[in-house]
């Protein structure tokens, strides 16, 4: 995956691997990828990135790939009574599909793995399944790891919110892990990563 993205960014910027996910998907996973003529480079990059648990962010020395740890040991920045904020909002969407099967579907031995989102199933009362074919899958465990990564990314994108602050944290970067302590609402603590802004001057927290 890393090599595919690196080659697609060549001529525009460099790509550095800061940290791979626990399964080393960025370096070790070699998908057989096909796309239709006219597909944008961004779409392809985001698609293959979905097979890992990593994200991309631009820095002064080029693009960087990093593992998006769902439970990091420390925060990059905190908004609280020391750095006051005007408001915060949280949204949680239902993940669909809530069950993903990954298979190699080739002649010979067939490998299959799957992952599920129980919260989505409990809300809908049924499974909405999707089957994804990845010819390079080499075992059932490999297929399961791909499915887990895809469900994890879908859940991260479904759970989002925003925070409005009067003074920006100037050192903040995309995918920084933030903590928000709302002392006006029983000291509720919210954590999440800074996402790519859908509109100018607006950043999402997932």
How confident is the prediction along the chain (206 residues), in pLDDT tens digits per residue? 999 999 999 989 999 999 998 888 899 888 777 888 888 988 899 888 988 889 999 999 999 999 988 888 888 888 776 545 555 555 567 888 999 999 987 667 899 999 999 989 999 999 999 999 888 888 999 899 889 988 988 887 777 667 777 666 778 888 888 887 877 666 677 787 887 665 544 555 55
Residue 5: per-residue pLDDT: 94
Which SS3 state, helix, strand or coil, does residue 124 take? helix
Contact between 56 and 159 (Cβ < 8 Å): no
What tokens does 205 get?
């927290």
Contact between 50 and 134 (Cβ < 8 Å): no
DSSP state of 93: P
Q: How far apart are CA 21 and CA 69, in angstroms?
A: 8
Residue 65: per-residue pLDDT: 96
Contact between 27 and 20 (Cβ < 8 Å): yes
Contact between 163 and 66 (Cβ < 8 Å): no
For the full predicted model, state whether its pTM sits above 0.85. Answer: no
**Which H/E stretch holds residue 106?**
none
In the sheet with 54-59, reading across from the earlier edge strand, the strands are 15-17, 62-67, 54-59
Q: How far apart are CA 55 and CA 76, in angstroms?
A: 16
């Amino acid at each position: 995956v890393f090599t595919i993205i690196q080659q697609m960014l060549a001529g525009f910027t460099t790509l550095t691997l800061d940290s791979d996910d626990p399964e080393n998907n960025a370096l070790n996973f070699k998908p057989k990828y096909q796309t239709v003529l006219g597909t944008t480079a961004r779409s392809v990059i985001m698609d293959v990135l979905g097979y890992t648990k990593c994200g991309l962010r631009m820095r002064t020395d080029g693009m960087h790939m990093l593992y998006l740890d769902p439970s990091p040991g420390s925060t990059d920045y905190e908004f609280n009574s020391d750095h006051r904020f005007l408001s915060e909002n949280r949204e949680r969407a239902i993940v669909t599909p809530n069950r993903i099967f990954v298979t190699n579907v080739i002649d010979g031995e067939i490998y299959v793995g799957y992952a599920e989102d129980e919260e989505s199933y409990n809300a809908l009362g049924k499974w909405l399944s999707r089957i994804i074919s990845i010819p390079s899958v080499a075992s059932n465990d490999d297929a399961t790891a791909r499915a887990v990564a895809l469900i994890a990314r879908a859940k991260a994108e479904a759970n989002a919110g925003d925070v409005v602050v009067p003074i920006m944290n100037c050192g903040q970067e995309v995918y920084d892990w933030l903590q928000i302590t709302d002392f006006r609402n029983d000291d509720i603590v919210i954590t999440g990563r800074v996402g790519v802004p859908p509109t100018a001057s607006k950043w999402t927290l997932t």
